[in-house]
Each structure stands twice: as structure tokens, then as C-alpha cells.
Amino acid sequence: MRSKPELEAAIRGPQGRAVLVVNARSRRGRKKFGAARRLLSQAGLTFDHVFPVTDPDRLPAIFREVLDLEPDLVVVGGGDGTVAEAVGHLTHRDIALGVLPLGTTNNFSRSLELPQDLAGAVRALREGKVADVDVGWFSGTATTGNAASGNGQAGGDAPEGRHIFANMVSLGLSVEVARNVPHGLKRVIGRSAYALTAARLLPRHEAFKATIRIGGETRELRTHQLNVANGAHHSGQRIARDASPDDRLLAVYRLGDERRLRLASATARHVLTGQWRSLDEDAFLTTDEVHIETDPPLRVDVDGEIRGLTPVTVRLLGNALRVIVPQSFVDT
């Protein structure tokens, strides 16, 4: 593995090899593909190969082809599902990932402190630096036909039921929202489509019992929503002011208890106060590995894709992914 300065020098140098992958099926990918190419060219960023993806089912095969090209930089335009697929293939490799946020919530790019406008994201690619950030490893009970939106299996050639992820593992109502949110509505109104779908499903959603094991300690709780976060954002909102994909921590937290109204109020509090909360508060359990069982067994959302069933084990892989971030990003 090259040092970060060595990889930066290779990317900026005349022999640097770069590849661009844009999910043209993402919310903004189809509309912004031409503008992205133009802005990248104006910034002096050139690519040996460009892959406009119109069929997300082909993403795993495309990223395997990308790896065969042995690039120094892979720039990915799309939402969190597309980025998760890239992360699964680029983890533990001497390749930097650059992100153009073209999705609905763009949680991972927000956690990297990237500008959310296309011009700003391109500027960060041109002027940014290489950093090493954490990713997560998820293992659950395998199922068949369990993908929610057909974006393929994050985690490269990982066995079914095991995945590398970038941002979040979720249990509960959010899984039903991911399975039922109308894609047409998501394209039209963006993040609000998730809130509307959640409001429609909540009156019929049943709470579940979760048993959480961290080290030698076990906790039991009842809730409608349980999350394990590697990144700093959920549903486009900050989880806590000190959460980061570079803090060597997984943050385990629930939203509300078994009462449905508590889920609604806890979600609102999360949206309104996340930027001021701290991971040191009692609402969070922080760890580098957690095992979760639920009663009843539940499907699991991993970076927006339905991946297997509980019980699950989630583990941190520290500094396992190389990314392009703004110069202001604190790289530890």
C-alpha cells in the first residue's frame, strides 16, 4: 500500500489512472451526468474509462471490471446504494474513492464533509486530499432474493449474508420504508418520500425485542427502530456532533421505545438536535463490534439494501477505505 501522499501524487501526476462510474438511474444521475462530465473536464480531471450505468444490477460486474483496470482513483456518482457497492469493492485496496453526491440522502458523502452541490463536489475532488476512513462489516442470516432495490451485493465477492458497508445497519420501520417507498415519489420529492412512507406504515408497525451484546455485557430493549452507524448521518441528518466515519467507533442507538408515538417524537428530536448531541450521551452505545438478536427475527437494511435476517454481527474495519475528502476533513 502506498502512503497517502504517494497515492495523491499518483492521482495528480501525468501517469495517474482514473475511472468514472455514474449511476444514471439515481435521483440526479440521469439529469446531472452531462453536467458532471463538463465540470470534471473544466477542473482538469480526466478519466481513462467512463461507465454510465443504466442498469444497477450490473454494478457488481462493472466494479470488478474497474478493479481489473488497476486505477489510482475511482470517482462514483450516485446515491448511497451505488457508493456502498463501490465501498464493498474498494475496501483494503490501494485505490482512492471519490464521490459525486447524486442520490436522495447522500449520507456517506455528508459524513465525508463533501459539498452537496455538484460544482462543490468536483472542486473537492480537484483540491482535496486522500484520507483513510472506517467501514463496517456485517454478517447476518442469509436469505434468497432479499435485495430491496436491485443495486447488487455490497461487499464485492463476499458470501451472501456478509457485507462491507459504508454508513448504516438498520432494523425496524426503516426496513419496511426501504421496501415500500415509491421510487417515482422519491425521484420527485427526494428525502420527504421516506417520511411520508414512514407515516403511512407506522400505525401498523409492531415493536420488537432486541438483545444487544457488546463484549461481556448484554442489554435488552423494545423499540420500533434500531440503528448501528459507522458514518455521521442518517436520513440526511447528523447523528451527533462528534460522530465521524474516522472515529474507530460504531454507534448503536434506538429511536423511541415500543410506543409508536415515541418513535415519531424521537425521530423529530434526532432531526432537530443531532448536530448538538454527543456520542458520550446515554442514548448511544459505542463499540467496535456488536451482536444483535431480535424477537421476532427481522430483515436488515444495510446502506439502503435489504441484506439477510437477524441475528447479526456488526464489526468495525478501521481505516480500511481510502477516500478523497476536503482539506478541512480531520483525518486520524
Cell readout for 286 is 459505542
**What CATH number is attached to the domain comprising 94?**
3.40.50.10330
**Domain boundary residue among 71, 106, 134?**
134
What pLDDT is recorded for position 16? 92
Same-domain status, 202 and 214: yes
Same-domain status, 166 and 111: no
Q: Work out whether the CA dihedral 282, 113, 116, 79 comes out positive or negative.
A: negative
What pLDDT is recorded for position 195? 73
Same-domain status, 128 and 174: no
Q: Which domain holds residue 278?
A: 136-319
**Cα torsion for 156, 68, 61, 19, to the nearest 10°?**
100
50-87 pLDDT tens trace: 999 988 899 999 999 999 999 999 999 998 889 999 99
Domain count, the chain: 2
Same-domain status, 194 and 270: yes
**Domain boundary residue among 134, 168, 194?**
134
What pLDDT is recorded for position 198? 73
Same-domain status, 114 and 148: no
Same-domain status, 250 and 289: yes
What pLDDT is recorded for position 149? 38
Q: Work out whether the CA dihedral 328, 232, 116, 317 comes out positive or negative.
A: positive
Residues of the chain where predicted confidence (pLDDT) is lower than 70: 26-29, 143-162, 190-191, 261, 268, 270-272
Q: Is residue 330 part of a domain?
A: no
**What CATH number is attached to the domain comprising 269?**
2.60.200.40
Same-domain status, 151 and 18: no
Q: Please, is 238 exposed, middle or buried when counting C-beta atoms within 10 Å of its C-beta (0-12, 13-18, 19+)?
A: buried
**Domain boundary residue among 114, 134, 154?**
134
279-332 pLDDT tens trace: 999 989 999 999 999 999 999 999 888 888 999 999 999 999 999 999 999 998
Same-domain status, 128 and 150: no
Same-domain status, 186 and 245: yes
Same-domain status, 115 and 168: no
Query: 264 vs 43, 224, 280, 292, CA distance in Å?
Result: 44, 10, 23, 23
Q: Is residue 12 part of a domain?
A: yes
Q: Please, is 78 exposed, middle or buried when counting C-beta atoms within 10 Å of its C-beta (0-12, 13-18, 19+)?
A: buried
**Whole-prediction pTM:** 0.87
